[in-house]
Amino acid sequence: MAPGTILKIISLKRRANRDWFYPEQKKHSDFFRRNTHLRDGTEYVSNFINNTSDMTIPINSAIIAALLQLSSPAFKNNHFIPQKYSCQGQNISPALEIRKIPDGTKTLAVILFDPDASSGGFVHWVLWNLPPSAKIEEQTPAGSKGNNGSGEVGYTGPCPPSGTHHYQFTVYALDTKLDLPETSGKKELEAAMQGHILAQGTITGLYKKIR
């Protein structure tokens, strides 16, 4: 297809899953820029440009990324994260296991995001330039660490003020090494990754403070 050709995504599964997006955000392109994965963790589309409800986008503006299989020895998908990894415990990052890393992957990047936090969500972890490995170790020293939502460098664990929050660990397989300052956050990392994502995957953990 020539650049500028219009690609209409007609997957029935993707159409059926629109309701899994937050209702007030699902028709806005900025939502897709912040959340490049669909919430069931099976299909991925990044860099949505057009603000259209039928998901019609220019082919040269869309990147269809492959699927990474992401898991953790610490918790199962959509299950509770152990207290050890929260602000009530050791506040260290859990191990992540990655399968189906594609050929050509030069580095991995990680974003941990809480969409349930006020003011549009909270960033708990930003990490890039990890070596492409099948496992990111617990409390990993590897990679370059960016600013979390508290303005501090590195990981900060789940710490919801009330109720149960969802914590989305997303790993990206990139075809390049990124040149970013340590003061970079989620927005800067997402901008730098554009056009370099070979695959990505998400695992979601839950956390509620133990009183």
- Quick: pLDDT tens for 113-168: 999 998 889 999 999 999 999 999 999 999 999 999 999 999 999 999 999 999 99
Total number of domains constituting the chain: 2
Same domain, 40 and 97: no
pLDDT tier at 96 (50, 70, 90 boundaries)?
very high
Residue 1 covered by a domain: no
Please give the single-letter amino acid code of residue 147: N
Q: What range defines the domain where residue 169 resides?
A: 66-208
Q: Which residue has the higher pLDDT, 77 or 35?
A: 77
Collapsed DSSP state (helix, strand, coil) of residue 184: coil
Same domain, 191 and 104: yes
Cα distances from 111 to residues 91, 98, 119, 193, 206, in angstroms, run 16, 14, 18, 12, 16
| φ and ψ at residue 34, rounded to 5 degrees | -80, -30
Tell me what the mean pLDDT of segment 170-186 comes to. Answer: 95
Q: What CATH number does residue 151 fall under? A: 3.90.280.10
Query: Which of 49, 64, 79 is the last residue before a domain boundary?
Result: 64
Same domain, 13 and 59: yes
Same domain, 120 and 193: yes
Same domain, 45 and 86: no
Residue 71 covered by a domain: yes
Task: Determine the length of the chain.
Answer: 211
Same domain, 128 and 191: yes
Same domain, 87 and 170: yes
